[in-house]
Amino acid sequence: MTQPTRLRRWIDKATPSRESIEGNRWLKPFARRMMHSSLWRFTRRSVPRGVALGMVTGILVPMGQIPASAVLALPFRANIPAAAATTFFTNPITTPPLWIFAYWLGSQFVGEHGAGPQSATVRQGWGEWLLNDAAPTLVTGLVTVTIILALIGYFASALAWRLWIAHKWHKRSRDRAMRAAG
């Protein structure tokens, strides 16, 4: 079994189907509009929009990321499967380093307000430190990281789409030349 086949099978398994979204009780009010075929076609414009939208919902929405990305795909005319699959960028392995980096980045913008979490347990509880001192820093960092990753995802998927189409055209012209020659 080749690597692209494994990747394709994983994507097919991880991405919700049209039927599962249509049957979801939270999405029933949007189901009719959400089943429009343009939101499910893989086009050069809708896929990068879906990737960027999936990054945004994957990082900023704490729960219900796939339904949120599906609903937000409507006004942005983004590809729903691409948006849903991209939300898996945040998972138990990637989230802690992402939040640590976001906190560090936010502290560069906002500045350090108070002591870090080590002295917070002595002065005050973890909850107070998180809500009072860390929240503005973390939110600033998360929004910044989200914008950066959404832009990278958008342009990387647009470039990958272009390269894939160029490869197909090149292969098609090479096959035509071989048929004409032989």
Lowest-pLDDT choice from 16-25, 43-52, 125-134, 142-151:
125-134
Counting Cα atoms < 13 Å in the Cβ hemisphere of 73 gives 39
Question: Is 141 within 8 Å of 106 (Cβ atoms)?
Answer: yes
More confident residue, 109 or 50: 50
CB count within 10 Å of CB 27 equals: 17
Listed in sequence order, the residues at least 6 apart from 158 whose beta carbon sits closer than 8 Å to its beta carbon are 44, 47, 48
List, in order, residues 6 or more apart from 22 with CB less than 8 Å away: 31, 34, 35
Lowest mean pLDDT among 27-36, 46-55, 117-126, 144-153: 117-126
pLDDT score of 116: 53
Q: Is residue 113 a contact partner of residue 137, using CB atoms and an 8 Å limit?
A: yes
The rounded percent of the chain whose pLDDT value lies above 90 is 47
Angstrom distances, CA of residue 89 to CA of 60, 83, 94: 12, 11, 7
pTM for the model stands at 0.74
Model confidence pLDDT, tens digit, residues 65-83: 998 998 899 899 999 999 9
Instruction: Give dist(CA 78, CA 155) in Å, integer.
Output: 14
Tokens of 152: 């990278």
Q: Which of 72, 68, 76 is nearest to 48 (CA)?
A: 76
Between vectors from CA 57 to CA 67 and to CA 84, what angle results, nearest 5°? 50
- Is the predicted pLDDT of residue 20 greater than 50, yes or no? yes
Q: Which H helix or E strand runs over 70?
A: helix 65-76
pLDDT of 120 = 46
CA distance 69 to 43: 18
115 has a pLDDT exceeding 50: no
Q: Which residues contact 153 (CB under 8 A, 6 or more apart)?
A: 48, 51, 52, 54, 55, 86
Per-residue pLDDT band for 52 (boundaries 50, 70, 90) equals very high
